[in-house]
Amino acid sequence: MGIKRKIKNYIYLKRHYPLSVKNITPDPNKKTVLIVDSQIPTFDKDSASNRITEIAKFLAKHYNVYLMDWRKAIPKLESKKYIQNLNDHNVMVYTPFIGEYGIMKGKKHFINNLLPKLDFVWCHRPELFEHYLDFFRKKAPQAKIVYDMVDIHYLRMERGLEIKYDKNRAKELVYYKHIETELCKQADKIAVISDKEKEFMTAFVDPSKLFTVSNVHNLKVKPEDMPPFEKREGIFFIGTFLHDPNVDAVEILYHHIMPLVWKVLPKLKITIIGPEAPEAIEKMNSERFEIAGFVEDIIPYYKKCFASVSPLRFGAGVKGKIGQALEYTLPVLTTEIGAEGMFLENRVTALISGNEDYQKFADNIIEICSNESTWNTLHNNSEKAIYPFSIEAQKEEIFELLK
């Protein structure tokens, strides 16, 4: 690192740090887990971040838990609320500091201090596992390495390429497939996000290494505490546009599904929520098809809308947008791909259509916005739908993973 960069970093730390003032003292009687991610998890921006945040908070009740962003030597001010949220639940997050004699202590200092204490290294996402596998094998041979797949990336890409071929995405697929079917064999344990993916992965690795650790969702409200059917209006879609299936889903809503809905319900408004929308999506914005971008507080949408809609044609893993809607007892409309691994039952806990049955998806939207009986059935069955994703339902599997 050059002298100018060091000075710039020093000034940044003096001006903005510490990002959290809580001091957490490790318990010498507990085992130590280091979670390595590609970012400080942004629980309110993407499903994978929300999942690892909830897992870290749960683990911190039973282990000494540290979390490190592998990319940034200096987490920025924007990460402050996420670091504080984790610290509030006794998760120790890497941030540099200015030590004795004005010397900055960074990531190297953080890792070197942890290496002899580590019992588990939890590599969240395939890139992290590939990057750190050899390092922790050599530097912390006593530590068990957990590869958290998040979802099976190459499978999601493979499904997407069947619908829309992209040369660059095809190259990425080869990279991820190597990690997810070959390199993964070198992990001590592998966390998969659903039993369906666990079954899929048995073709590549010893089944005894596989553990299902899904999204973590808990019922946030009681059905009777939420506004009733007659006080609802509109529907919404939510998801980050850095995720190809979400871009495709919004295009399908705009070009195929909503025109069919508007023939019957011409005034129905749909709101598209999520960061990083490409220009083509931004241009869809209108009074009936609102492109809202990132929304800090989405709870009002759970309170005022008829349903969350997710017409996914491809993807893999468990869909956080569906679990989050169920947390607030909001009916969910999705496809067979969207429902994969979610334990959903058509017309009992969700309305489910074929992946490319646009007329059926449109009919489901019309029904959920006009049939109070259907709406109440899904609304009142949310707790049944969400239970498999609660910590209570998953904790034994997590403890087994970290034996």
Q: What is the pLDDT of residues 86-110, one digit of tens each?
A: 999 999 999 877 777 667 777 888 9
Whether 125 and 274 map to the same domain: the answer is no
Omega before 18 within 30 of 0, i.e. cis: yes
CB of 112 closer than 8 Å to CB of 48: no
Whether 108 and 203 map to the same domain: the answer is yes
How confident is the model at residue 12, as a pLDDT? Answer: 80
Residue 391, pLDDT > 70, answer yes
User: In the predicted model, what is the mean pLDDT of residues 56-64?
Assistant: 97
Rg (CA), the chain: 22
166 or 344: which leads in pLDDT: 344
| pLDDT > 70 fraction of the chain, expressed in percent and rounded | 98
Whether 239 and 366 map to the same domain: the answer is yes
* Cα→Cα distances 394→15, 53, 71, 258, 289, Å: 42, 15, 30, 37, 38
Residue 7, pLDDT > 90, answer no
Whether 207 and 252 map to the same domain: the answer is no
DSSP secondary structure string for all residues of 5-57: HHHHHHHHHHHH--S-----PPPTTS-EEEEEESSS--TTT-HHHHHHHHHHH
User: In the predicted model, what is the mean pLDDT of residues 10-18?
Assistant: 77
Identify the CATH number of the domain in which residue 45 sits.
3.40.50.2000
Whether 254 and 112 map to the same domain: the answer is no
Whether 96 and 164 map to the same domain: the answer is yes
Whether 162 and 311 map to the same domain: the answer is no
Whether 173 and 41 map to the same domain: the answer is yes
SS3 344: coil
Residue 129, pLDDT > 80, answer yes
Residue type, 199: E
Per the DSSP assignment, residues forming a β-bridge with 32 are 64
Which residue shows structure tokens 């309305």? 351
Whether 188 and 238 map to the same domain: the answer is no
Among the ranges given (8-12, 185-189, 236-240), the one the predictor scored with the smallest mean pLDDT: 8-12
Rounded Cα distance, 196 and 342, in Å: 10
237 or 6: which leads in pLDDT: 237
User: In the predicted model, what is the mean pLDDT of residues 370-387?
Assistant: 96
* H/E stretch holding 133: helix 126-139
CB of 1 closer than 8 Å to CB of 103: no
| Domain interval for residue 137 | 3-215+391-401
Rounded Cα distance, 323 and 219, in Å: 10
CB of 247 closer than 8 Å to CB of 210: no
Summarize pLDDT for 204-234 with one digit per residue, the tens.
999 999 999 999 998 999 999 999 999 999 9
Rounded Cα distance, 143 and 149, in Å: 19
Count of domains forming the chain: 2
This prediction's pTM: 0.84
CA-based nearest residue to 60, from 83, 92, 82, 84: 92
Average pLDDT, the chain: 92
Residue 32, pLDDT > 60, answer yes
| Reported confidence tier of residue 76, pLDDT bands at 50, 70, 90 | confident
Whether 315 and 232 map to the same domain: the answer is yes
Residue 318, pLDDT > 90, answer no
- With 0-12 CB in 10 A as exposed, 13-18 as middle and 19+ as buried, what is 219? middle
Whether 49 and 122 map to the same domain: the answer is yes
Residue 11: CB atoms within 10 Å: 10
Whether 124 and 54 map to the same domain: the answer is yes
* Cα→Cα distances 146→97, 130, 163, 184, 190, Å: 28, 12, 33, 10, 6
| Reported confidence tier of residue 1, pLDDT bands at 50, 70, 90 | low
